[in-house]
Structure 1
Amino acid sequence: MTLDDLRVFVAVCRAGSLSSVARELGCTQSAVSQHVKRLEGETGVVLLERQPRGVVPTQAGRVLETAAAEGISGLDLAVRQLRDLLDGESGYVRVATGATTVRHFMSEAVVAYRRRHPRVNLEFRTVSSGRGSLDALADGTLDLAWITLGPPVRGIEQRPVVELPWVLAVRADDPLAERPCIDAADLAGVRLIRLPPNSASAAHLDAACAESGVRFAQDTSVADWDTALLLAELGVGRAVVPALPGLAVPGSGDLRLLPVPALRPLPVGWAVRRWDALSPPARAFADLVESCRRG
């Protein structure tokens, strides 16, 4: 049983596919399978169950995956910390985020950080979901994740940075555009452009509306807030979105952003595996983003 065996096994459990891990590692599917077979031979149990579309860990496989992921994460963290102690200001910071987050929450901090820490590599990685970000933090693939904050997650620490009020985005010629603000009741029955229902921000919005006794219909679904704003500006529909930094309220030009003060604001911020174990470069970046947002 080697560290490589365990790394490959964890990757297969996360991906649910031998072939996708093989492509990622640049090797054959047979080579990936050999890592798993070696672990099964040494443990004496079946670790993966083959299904028509990929593989899933067995009960024994889930036990090994959890232990291996925690162990690998701890080793990777120790190696990074040793490198930081040796190199001082060099190293890298791996952040789960997307273009919308960088544009609205981090642009100022990224410029300032690059000026202050020119030898540190910043790596921004797009992760398809908040759950994916938390998994990547747990297994040590990422250092920081900018997320919509939610319920406590075992093994993950969350730090709130800012609360975003909700606004209704409409085109300037929309009948609602001249209102100074929107009451939550005005959203009842309105067909809205919205984020995918399984996203954390969409779940928060649903809960906030439910608190006000409001339900609205779905229309076009988009992957990010900027796309929702663009479609609203084009007159494709209306969108309830957070008041992102850098956007004027109530809005100008072809787009109007009307406050919806009755809805509970959206909390966003950092998620990490352990704050006290962050590398100095990662902690400096997180603190700088937080300082820029609160300043």
Structure 2
Amino acid sequence: MTLDDLRILTVVCRTGSLSAAARELSCTQSAVSQHVKRLERELGLSLLERHTRGVVPTPAGRTLSAAVTAGLGCIDHALRQLEEAARGERGSVRITTGATTVRHFMAAAVVDFRRRFPLASLEFQTETSSRGCFDALAAGGVDLAWITLGPASPAAEQHPVVELPWSLAVSASDPLAARAVLAPVDLLDARLIGLPRNSTSRLQLADWLADSGIQPVFDTSVADWDTAILLAELGLGHAVVPTLPAWSGPGHPNLRLIPIPALPALTAGWAVRRWDALSPLARAFAETVTRHCGPRNP
């Protein structure tokens, strides 16, 4: 049993395909299969169920893959810390987050961080959901994840940074545009633009509206809040969105963001494996972002 055997098993379990794992690892499908078979022979257990459309881990495969993923994440993190200690301020910080996060929450912090650590590099990895960010953390692929905070997870610590009140985004020509505030009941018959069903923010929004007796209808799906707000500004629907500062002001004369104060604010912030195990550079970047976001907290 080698470290390569274990690494390859986790990639196969994550991708659900020997061929997809081979592409990701830049090797042949036969080589991937040989690594998995060697593990199965040594353990005396089947780790994968082969199907015509791919592979599915057996209970033994899931158990081993989960343990390996956690262990490799810790090993990779320790190796990166040692490398960064040897290089001083020449290390890198790996961050996973949504497509528009840097624009809305990190632009000033990135400039500030680069001024203070000119030899450090920042590596951003885009994910489409908080679940994807958690997976990247667990696999050791990133140091920090900026997410919509949700239920506590044993796999990661969550550190709230900013609270974002909800607003209804509408075109300036919409009948609701003249309202100063809205209540959840005003959304009773609304057909909304929303994020994908599995996104943390959409799930939280749906739960909070349900507590007010509102069952929202999402008839348009988009990948990020910026797209939802843009469609609303163009008059193509309504979007219940976090109040993002970049969309306020004279730059968007055809957009109105009407507060919905009865809805609990959305909380965004950092997820990390262990805060006290972050490299000095990663901690410095996280603290820089937190400091620049601070004035936005209600």
What range is the shorter-chain TM-score in?
over 0.9
**Are 1:283 and 2:245 an aligned pair?**
no
CA distance in 1, matches of 2:92, 2:12: 26
User: Given that residues 250 and 258 in structure 1 are in contact (C-alpha distance below 8 angstroms), is that contact kept between their aligned partners in structure 2?
Assistant: no
Secondary structure (helix, strand or coil) at the match of 1:176 reads: helix
Pair 1:208–1:266, CA change in 2 (3 A): same
In structure 1, the residue matched to 2:196 is 196
Compute the displacement of 1:255 (Å): 0.7
Alignment of 1:1-295 (within 5 A): 1-248=1-248, 252-295=252-295
Compute the displacement of 1:52 (Å): 2.8
Q: Which runs of 4+ in 1 moved over 4 A?
A: 249-252
Secondary structure (helix, strand or coil) at the match of 1:89 reads: helix
Pair 1:162–1:213, CA change in 2 (3 A): same
Residue 77 of structure 1 aligns to which amino acid in structure 2?
H
User: Given that residues 250 and 257 in structure 1 are in contact (C-alpha distance below 8 angstroms), is that contact kept between their aligned partners in structure 2?
Assistant: no
Moved more, 11-20 or 209-218: 209-218
Pair 1:20–1:73, CA change in 2 (3 A): same
Compute the displacement of 1:246 (Å): 2.6
User: Given that residues 192 and 219 in structure 2 are in contact (C-alpha distance below 8 angstroms), is that contact kept between their aligned partners in structure 1?
Assistant: yes
Q: Deviations over 1:183-208 (max 9, x none)?
A: 11100111111111211000110111
Pair 1:249–1:192, CA change in 2 (3 A): farther
Secondary structure (helix, strand or coil) at the match of 1:267 reads: strand
Residue 5 of structure 1 aligns to which amino acid in structure 2?
D
Secondary structure (helix, strand or coil) at the match of 1:208 reads: helix
Secondary structure (helix, strand or coil) at the match of 2:153 reads: coil
Structure 1 stretches lacking a partner, 5+ long = none
Moved more, 156-165 or 80-89: 80-89
Compute the displacement of 1:129 (Å): 2.1
Percent identical: 61
TM-score for both structures, normalised by structure 1: 0.96
Q: Deviations over 1:229-259 (max 9, x none)?
A: 1111111111100001333279950111110
Moved more, 61-70 or 144-153: 61-70
CA distance in 1, matches of 2:284, 2:201: 27
Q: Figure out how many residues of one structure are paired with residues of the other and give that number.
A: 295
User: Given that residues 98 and 128 in structure 2 are in contact (C-alpha distance below 8 angstroms), is that contact kept between their aligned partners in structure 1?
Assistant: no
CA distance in 2, matches of 1:234, 1:248: 15
Residue 57 of structure 2 aligns to which amino acid in structure 1?
P
CA distance in 2, matches of 1:251, 1:167: 18
Compute the displacement of 1:98 (Å): 2.9
Q: Deviations over 1:139-196 (max 9, x none)?
A: 2111111111111111210000011000000001000001111111100111111111
User: Given that residues 212 and 263 in structure 1 are in contact (C-alpha distance below 8 angstroms), is that contact kept between their aligned partners in structure 2?
Assistant: no
Moved more, 211-220 or 144-153: 211-220
Residue 232 of structure 1 aligns to which amino acid in structure 2?
A
CA distance in 2, matches of 1:189, 1:230: 21
CA distance in 2, matches of 1:267, 1:249: 23
Moved more, 280-289 or 110-119: 110-119
Structure 2 stretches lacking a partner, 5+ long = none
Moved more, 50-59 or 194-203: 50-59
User: Given that residues 169 and 255 in structure 1 are in contact (C-alpha distance below 8 angstroms), is that contact kept between their aligned partners in structure 2?
Assistant: yes
Moved more, 77-86 or 283-292: 77-86
Compute the displacement of 1:71 (Å): 1.7
Residue 25 of structure 1 aligns to which amino acid in structure 2?
L
CA distance in 2, matches of 1:49, 1:261: 51
User: Given that residues 193 and 237 in structure 1 are in contact (C-alpha distance below 8 angstroms), is that contact kept between their aligned partners in structure 2?
Assistant: yes
CA distance in 2, matches of 1:294, 1:45: 52
Residue 181 of structure 1 aligns to which amino acid in structure 2?
V
